[in-house]
Structure 1
Amino acid sequence: MASKISTLDGPTPDVDISTLDHSKPTPVTVWTGYLGSGKTSLILSILKQLKPEYKVVVLKNEFGDVEVDSLLTSSPSISGVSEIQNGCVCCTLVGQLRNALLDIKKQFNPDRILLESSGSAFPAALAWQVRELERETRGAMTLDAVITVVDCINFTGYEDTSPTAKMQAKYTDMIVLNKWDLVSDRQLDTVLDHLYTLNDETPMLRHSPSSPLSPSVLFGLDSKLFSRKDEELLDFAKMGWSEGHTDEVESLGLWRGRGERRPGLDWDRVLQPFLATLPSSIYRVKGLNGTDPRLYILNWAFGRYTLTELPEGLRGEERFEGVEVRLTMMGERGEVRKWAERLKGVVGGLIR
């Protein structure tokens, strides 16, 4: 079945739980990991290994107004893609998460839901929400596992400044070591030392494009993480953080349409050189850029990027009409505004 993308930027209608299919429980696998860790790429590699008749819906929680990850995830192997934008599903968007999961169960009744959380989500809090829904639906939906993706290139850098990164590594049913093949043995040992200090009980598995993890290893873990929600919040408080954890990350968008009568955006001479100057305090830049008739999906994280042409079947959609640059920049609070202004000076447009 061709995938469908829907954006949930407001309340969704309540679903009558009595109308759900209880004969076929739908397990929910929750994916966490800091910004740019590679959650979407890992999910794509899992989807490619599933049998065609196995129905999966991906529910994504994104910062900003650019649905880049969902565009990248759009493929025939997915029954549907839904988005919850501009907030964190483990705290500020709790009601939307519940309703979105119920709506997916009612509309698709899939074999599995993959919930890809934002880079700032707390694992145990998410597990608790799904577990509550399991009780509410009398088993029509079940919590399978929380899986944390760790970026072996950058983890030791942002771990020191991000309590959320530590929480994601500590409170999880499985840790997937991503990009381990791109670091030296010594660097990998350093990452493992940090992880074992935080969590020496959870399995840690290596994943790479040449040696992807099998769905059979990642599915069917029967999580008990929901019982540790209060412990997780207490740990966060002990670190001296009293404000909301999403305050760690600042997110700003930049939009430029074709009506500005500026020269076309040249990737090689304009945008790529600018991205090469970004410091480690900028974690991710994602969005759309290009010139008519071609539009490209940019996914940049910690100095590495992919540039994918927008699928031909989507080019005529109204949401892309007139778009020349539509980017979201994420990073340390206080740094993003400065670099977003510099990006505006290079490509023009409006910051919002």
Structure 2
Amino acid sequence: MRATFMYKAGDVRVEHAPDPVVQQPTDAVVRIVRSCVCGSDLHPYHSLSEDDGPAPMGHEFLGVVEELGSEVTGLKRGDVVVAPFAFADNTCALCREGLHTSCPNGGFFASGGVGGAQAEAVRVPQASGTLVKLPVGEDSALLPSLLTLADVYGTGYHAARQARVDERTTVTVIGDGAVGLLAVLSAKQLGAEQIILMGRHKDRTDLGRYFGASDIVAERGEEGVEKVRQLTGGQGTHTVLEAVGHMPAYETAVGVVRPGGVISRVGVPQYEDAPVGFGSLFGPNITLTGGPAPVRAYIDELLPGVLSGAVEPGRVFDRSVTLDETPEGYRAMDRREALKVLVTP
């Protein structure tokens, strides 16, 4: 089959690779019909060393079940399925508590010997607990929106849920990438009325307004913090959803959250040291939360809105490439020429 590998920073190649096969009785093999490039894929695109490559790429996919291990239940060949970016058994104590990313029998696609999803097919461990059957055909017009359930929609929703967003809370979303925009959508779904989106790319912030943002702040740094505070009577917002992962975004979050508020981080942190002491979080009683989204915990809740067309999270895809063109998809996202790139066979 063909599959995408990153050899080092900036060097993405589509090459022939061995076809995936069932290795454990709990595995399935899925033929991929849609995948995509994630904003988090750009982190190794900027930093991967040659010693760490070639690395399989891609962790978001929709597909058709081709093969099933002997212990897989609830699925059959030909089912159209979505998988969260982390596989899990969905039966252990942590999964039952909604912490699928901490499942002792789980892991992440494109790591730990599991192939990447920017490919023609992928092996899915813990298939019974991971794969969710979809009531659509593999040519459905809903595929882009359904694909967001694999990561970015569930991650944006996780940010809002962890921050306890509701109709009484004001919200700042930091970052106008796909996760940030779907955090806006999620905050709106949970009842928030004032949602401030911090971003400076007009095509993206326009989509943010469509998803429910009430205010846009294009300024950065101290100027951006001051603008948010002006919009909130000097107090800042009850919740901050940080969808970037770089230190300036974290510092902005600390600057715009009001006393007693919550900072929810879902941007993969690209730093080790963050201020949490008396002058930043401890003194004003700020809660710091977030983490890798247990997307499997949210798929069943979010799926009906996508199927009915009540929400259209697939609007974050603004460019489509074939699998062989995946390296150009990386370049387009890195140059900010595309918000999120859809990959077709």
TM-score by length of 2: 0.30
